Structures are given as structure tokens and as C-alpha cells.
């Protein structure tokens, strides 16, 4: 198929540094132009991944994401600028990538990848690159790739550490061979909760792009069957062998991955049956209702912005049980609702029946303020 691919004079000049590589040359560039790659997620990993695949000349690049650009993204998601804040990520990404290379086709899916749409979206692509940051989507991407027979170029990051490999390539192992079962909910925090040094996703996303190029062109040895580990603090690397597990179940259909990962199963007990919306909290404030507001974020987060509640970081919540009101509503919040849910779980052991979790956390509150300001 790649033999029928031709290049304009502008493209030949653009890709000249590829063309003079003996093992790559014009045939490697033809394969890139003929290829279709789907990148799932435009976050820390997706940003450099998309930029390098675009610059390399991959003919068709698909982008799946349903998030919008936030100020906190700009520390590592170098695909975006301050002018993009508030815009859908796929929209901002397509605009930036088109300005980088006008010779390629960019297809966007401004939607969440789910069990209902994953097969339909992935089937038209040759390679999938997983840049997601949560376990349900990782298992979903893996299983869809297995069912459709698509290579899955994978990476993940956390704080100062990253890992990368290639799954489901030339009868190699898939994600479930390495991670048969997901960790318990809340055991492994996301980057939003645990943080990540800004340069790390640039390093791992670039490695992903390199693996995608190797899969497409057939040059070199991919990381299939090997897991690359990187520590940015010590600059130490390790490469571990990954084998197919005979006990890995045959994947024939997509499932409910949030349920598989145990997410939401204990929501009722965790939140004592109650979540409070930012609109409800706002009305309580307007009416002057008596309630206790607790912020379980870290002090530096509180200093950036807060709702005026009492600061008790999650790690210290059980040490301050005697300060928490038991005879009036207690509203607990964090950045997004995750840590406040964990705080409620801890406090339930002490018999509290009056705890409510602020749905969406301070991010939802900020969205409400932005919406109200837009009316004027």
C-alpha cells in the first residue's frame, strides 16, 4: 500500500532528515504517511506524543478526549497555551497540530471513550497510543485493541517515575498479562491527586512516539515483551521482561470497566448517601445556614484559592476528629471530590452521620463562578 504514496516537493524538504537515514529512507516515510494512529488522551503524555507524530508525518492522526484545557495543564501539556484555557482539548490540539504540519489529516473525537463507542472508533486505525491516566480506560483500550487486533503503545507517569511498553504487537503480551487485576480503588492516586514533575510526560510521551514510529515502519526492536522503567530523580532506568500469561482470560467483549476497577461500588457508604452540589452549597451560604465547611487539600492549594472553610489536610483528618461538628451538616471538599470522599470514608468509622461531599470539589465551584460571570 505504501508504494502508491507520493510526496510533494514541500514534503520531501520537510522530511529530508528522515529520508537520508539508510534504514529509514523514503520507504519508512511512505509507511508513516499511509498510517493511521489513534491517540487516546491529550494530556501530559498525549501532548508530546501528538506533536512528534505530527512532525514525523503520520498521515492520519485521531485524537480522543472530552476534557477542556485548564490552567493546571500548562505546567506539562506543552501542546496548549493560555489562550486555549477553557477550550475543548481536541479542538485546541487540532488547531495547533495543523499549524505544525498541514500535510496530514487530523480526526477528532470530543467524547469520552466508552465500552459503547471504543470498537467503532478504534477499528479504523492501525495503531493505538494510550495516553490516559486511569485504570478503567487503560483496560478498555487494551481490551478493544485485543478484540480488533491493534497494537497498543502504552505509557504511564506518576510524580518522578514513568514506564512504557508495547502491548498486543505480533502476538506479544497485552496489558492484562502484566496487570491481571486493577489495584483497589484509591490505592494509586492519579496525577491530579499525586502530582507529576512537568518534564516527565515529555520524556515518556516522546518514547511512545518513537515506539509508534517503529511499529509502523518495522525498523528496530519495539518494547513488545519488555517494560521500560524510568526514574527522573536518579536518572536510573530498568527494562523488565513481560511474558504472556497463560491464565489471562480470552477477551471477547467489552465490559463495565468502572465496575471492574471497583469504582463507584461503595459510593453510597463513602458519601453517606449524600453529595451536595455547588448550587446547593451556594444557597446554604446565601441563606446563612449553619454548617461546618472542611477543606482537605494541602496548605499550598488552600493558599491558591479556597472557599473559606477549615483546612484539615486528608492525611491529618483523623487527628482532628474532635474538631468536627456532629450536630450540624458538615460539607467536606477538595479539588475534585476524590480526597473529600476518602476523608468521609475515614470519618464514617467514628460514627458521623452528617457528612456531605461537595460534588466536583473546588473545580466545580470555579466553573460555577465562570458561568455566572459570563452572564454579565
Q: Which residues form the catalytic set? A: 191, 334
| Strand bridging mode 60-64 / 36-40 | parallel
Distance CA 102, CA 8 (A): 12
Q: Indicate the Cα dihedral angle 196, 201, 204, 206, nearest 10°.
A: -170
Alpha-carbon distance 151 to 215, whole Å? 8
Distance CA 205, CA 155 (A): 7
CA 116 to CA 22: how far, in whole Å?
44
Give first-to-last CA distance, the chain, whole Å: 56
Within 10 Å of residue 36's Cβ, how many Cβ atoms? Answer: 16
Residue reference for cell 457528612: 355
- Helix count (H) and strand count (E) of the chain? 16, 13
How far, in whole angstroms, is CA 334 from its chain's centroid? Answer: 20
Rounded-to-integer distance, Cα 36 and Cα 326, Å: 58
Residue 323 near residue 352, CB atoms below 8 Å: no
Q: For residue 229, what are the β-bridge partners?
A: 163, 238
Amino acid at each position: 500500500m505504501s508504494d502508491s504514496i507520493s510526496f510533494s516537493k514541500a514534503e520531501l524538504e520537510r522530511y529530508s532528515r528522515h529520508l537520508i537515514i539508510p534504514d529509514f529512507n523514503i520507504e519508512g516515510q511512505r509507511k508513516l504517511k499511509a498510517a493511521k494512529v489513534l491517540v487516546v488522551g491529550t494530556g501530559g503524555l498525549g501532548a508530546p506524543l501528538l506533536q512528534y507524530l505530527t512532525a514525523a508525518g503520520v498521515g492520519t492522526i485521531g485524537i480522543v478526549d472530552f476534557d477542556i484545557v485548564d490552567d493546571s495543564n500548562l505546567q506539562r501539556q506543552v501542546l496548549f497555551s493560555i489562550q486555549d484555557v477553557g477550550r475543548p482539548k481536541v479542538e485546541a490540539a487540532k488547531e495547533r497540530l495543523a499549524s505544525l504540519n498541514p500535510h496530514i489529516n487530523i480526526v477528532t473525537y470530543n467524547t469520552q471513550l466508552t465500552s459503547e463507542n471504543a470498537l467503532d472508533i478504534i477499528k479504523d486505525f492501525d495503531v493505538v497510543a494510550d495516553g490516559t491516566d486511569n485504570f478503567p480506560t487503560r483496560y478498555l483500550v487494551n481490551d478493544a485493541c485485543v478484540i480488533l487486533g491493534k497494537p497498543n503503545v502504552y505509557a504511564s507517569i506518576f510524580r518522578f517515575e514513568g514506564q512504557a511498553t508495547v502491548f498486543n504487537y505480533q502476538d506479544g503480551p497485552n496489558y492484562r498479562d502484566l496487570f491481571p487485576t486493577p489495584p483497589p480503588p484509591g490505592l494509586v492516586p492519579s496525577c491530579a491527586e499525586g502530582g507529576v514533575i512537568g518534564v516527565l510526560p515529555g520524556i515518556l510521551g516522546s518514547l511512545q512516539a518513537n515506539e509508534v514510529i517503529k511499529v509502523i515502519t518495522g525498523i528496530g526492536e519495539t518494547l513488545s515483551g519488555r517494560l521500560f522503567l524510568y526514574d527522573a530523580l536518579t536518572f536510573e532506568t530498568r527494562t523488565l521482561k513481560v511474558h504472556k500469561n497463560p491464565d489471562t482470560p480470552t477477551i471477547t467483549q467489552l465490559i463495565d470497566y468502572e465496575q471492574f476497577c471497583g469504582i463507584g461500588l461503595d459510593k453510597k457508604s463513602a458519601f453517606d448517601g449524600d453529595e451536595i452540589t455547588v448550587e446547593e452549597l451556594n444557597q446554604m451560604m446565601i441563606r446563612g445556614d449553619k454548617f461546618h465547611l472542611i477543606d482537605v487539600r494541602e496548605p499550598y492549594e488552600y493558599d491558591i484559592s479556597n472557599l473559606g472553610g477549615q483546612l484539615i489536610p486528608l492525611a491529618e483528618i483523623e487527628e482532628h476528629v474532635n474538631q468536627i461538628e456532629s450536630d450540624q451538616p458538615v460539607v467536606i471538599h477538595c479539588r475534585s471530590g476524590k480526597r473529600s470522599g476518602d476523608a468521609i470514608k475515614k470519618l464514617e468509622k467514628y460514627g458521623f452521620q452528617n457528612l456531605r461531599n461537595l460534588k466536583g470539589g473546588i473545580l466545580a465551584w470555579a466553573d460555577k463562578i465562570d458561568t455566572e460571570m459570563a452572564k454579565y
